[in-house]
Structure 1
Amino acid sequence: MRVENYDTFAKGSLLSGSRKTGNVPSPNYNDFDFNTKKPLAMSDEKFREAIIEQAKKDQSAGKFQSDSAGFRSLVKSYVSAVSPDRKNIISRGFKAIFKNSNPQPKTLNLIDYLLGSVKYCKEAADVSYAEFYDSTGEMVASYSNGRWISYGTTAENARESELLGIYNEAWNNAAKSNQKNSFVADTHIGLINQSV
């Protein structure tokens, strides 16, 4: 799920179910939409080559972008290089939340949510809402009543847009090339049939 949120992309995530902090299950960091900082798998030049090859392969298979597992894997790897360390940010955030024994007031108004002044909502040991920010002040994730949402940072969105530009151009070029080859083959078959 992709939702425009201010100047970032918000992406829903499934819960991992494997670990919990208090009453909150951890997000699934292996999910396509929930990136966390990882070292570059290859140089940007090698990534560019891999993106172009994946686009050609996808075009010939009749797939486009997220229809392709190879594409999703490239996006995750390419974007994770500039992702904030969401795993550490969330882990540290929950340690601080559960260390604080003062629950937030039960009644919160809409203005507090819209202005971002509410960072979490907790009653006793149950957290129903929490927001997580990186060191630059960008919201990178939120948890609300059993659902995690990952918010793309400016750097992540720029890197993903760059990848999409490379991929789309290569996919379109492959489509044009395939159409041209199909036209030449059809013309050649037509000439053979005329001479018979």
Structure 2
Amino acid sequence: MRIENSNTFVQSQPLSGNGKMGNVPLPNYDDFHFNTKKTPAMNEEEYREAIIEQAQKDQAAGKFQSDSAGYRNLVKSYVSAVSPDRKNIIARGLTAIFKNSKPQSKTLNLIDYLFGTVKYHKEAADLSYAEFYDSNGEMVASYSNGKWISYGTKAENSRESELWGIYNEAWNNAARASQGKNYGGNADDTMCSMSISV
């Protein structure tokens, strides 16, 4: 499930078991919702063709968007091309947090969290809360009490919206074409006649 929060897509993820830094399990970067920067697998025109082809396959199979593993893989590849390097941002951030031995205030209030003045909270060697930002100042991830949350950047959200537009249009076109075949003609040319007796 994705939810929108301040113009960003947010996805919570349970512990991943892919290694640890300090007491913090690292996120699973292979997960559908937790992107990190990757070299594009195709050029833009090839991506467009692949999205259209996937939509047509999904429509024929009675699937839509995330019901399809092919769709999920395509979204991950397409969006990761503009993703920040979350893996490196988180690794550097956690390294800095665990190197810092300065004591912190034990009392954190709701105002601190709401206005973003708290970047992390650690007692002794146990980290309970941390926020991670990219070079544009956009929060890209947070860790809180055993859960990771990935925040989509403006670039990621825009790219995913582009993909939805291409995919949805192709899926709808395939559905209309399929309906036309079922009725023995073009779906747009279907006529209905009715006679009324008085």
TM-score range, shorter chain: over 0.9
- Which amino acid letter does the alignment assign opposite residue 146 of structure 2? G
Range that drifts further, 96-105 or 164-173: 96-105
Uncovered stretches (5+) of structure 2, i.e. residues with no partner: 186-198
- Which amino acid letter does the alignment assign opposite residue 161 of structure 1? S
Deviation at 1:106, TM superposition (A): 1.6
Corresponding residue number in structure 1 for 2:8: 8
Q: Is the 8 A contact 1:103 1:121 kept in 2?
A: no
The structure that is helix-richer by fraction is 1
CA distance in 2: counterparts of 1:125 and 1:98, whole angstroms = 7
Runs of at least 4 residues off by over 6 Å: none
Corresponding residue number in structure 2 for 1:80: 80
Deviation at 1:142, TM superposition (A): 0.2
- Which amino acid letter does the alignment assign opposite residue 131 of structure 2? E
Matches within 5 A, 1:5-84: 5-84=5-84
TM-score relative to the length of structure 1:
0.93
Q: Is the 8 A contact 2:18 2:27 kept in 1?
A: no
TM-score relative to the length of structure 2:
0.92
**Deviations 1:105-129 (CA, angstroms, capped at 9, x unpaired):** 1211111111111000000000000
CA distance in 2: counterparts of 1:9 and 1:29, whole angstroms = 16
Corresponding residue number in structure 1 for 2:129: 129
What is the number of equivalent residue pairs in this alignment? 185
- Which amino acid letter does the alignment assign opposite residue 128 of structure 1? S
Q: Secondary structure at the match of 1:39?
A: coil
Q: Secondary structure at the match of 2:132?
A: strand
Q: Does structure 1 residue 92 correspond to structure 2 residue 76?
A: no
Q: Secondary structure at the match of 2:172?
A: helix
- Which amino acid letter does the alignment assign opposite residue 174 of structure 1? A
Q: Is the 8 A contact 1:40 1:77 kept in 2?
A: yes
Deviation at 1:49, TM superposition (A): 0.2
Q: Does structure 1 residue 160 correspond to structure 2 residue 160?
A: yes
Uncovered stretches (5+) of structure 1, i.e. residues with no partner: 186-196
Q: Is the 8 A contact 1:104 1:120 kept in 2?
A: no
Q: Is the 8 A contact 2:14 2:146 kept in 1?
A: no
CA distance in 1: counterparts of 2:60 and 2:184, whole angstroms = 17
Q: Secondary structure at the match of 1:35?
A: coil
Q: Secondary structure at the match of 2:111?
A: helix
CA distance in 1: counterparts of 2:91 and 2:109, whole angstroms = 27
Q: Does structure 1 residue 183 correspond to structure 2 residue 177?
A: no
Q: Secondary structure at the match of 1:10?
A: strand
Deviation at 1:15, TM superposition (A): 2.6
Q: Secondary structure at the match of 1:42?
A: coil
- Which amino acid letter does the alignment assign opposite residue 96 of structure 2? A
Q: Is the 8 A contact 1:22 1:98 kept in 2?
A: yes
CA distance in 2: counterparts of 1:149 and 1:160, whole angstroms = 18
Q: Is the 8 A contact 1:29 1:35 kept in 2?
A: yes
Identical counterparts, % of pairs: 75
Q: Secondary structure at the match of 2:108?
A: coil
Q: Secondary structure at the match of 2:16?
A: strand
Q: Secondary structure at the match of 1:88?
A: helix
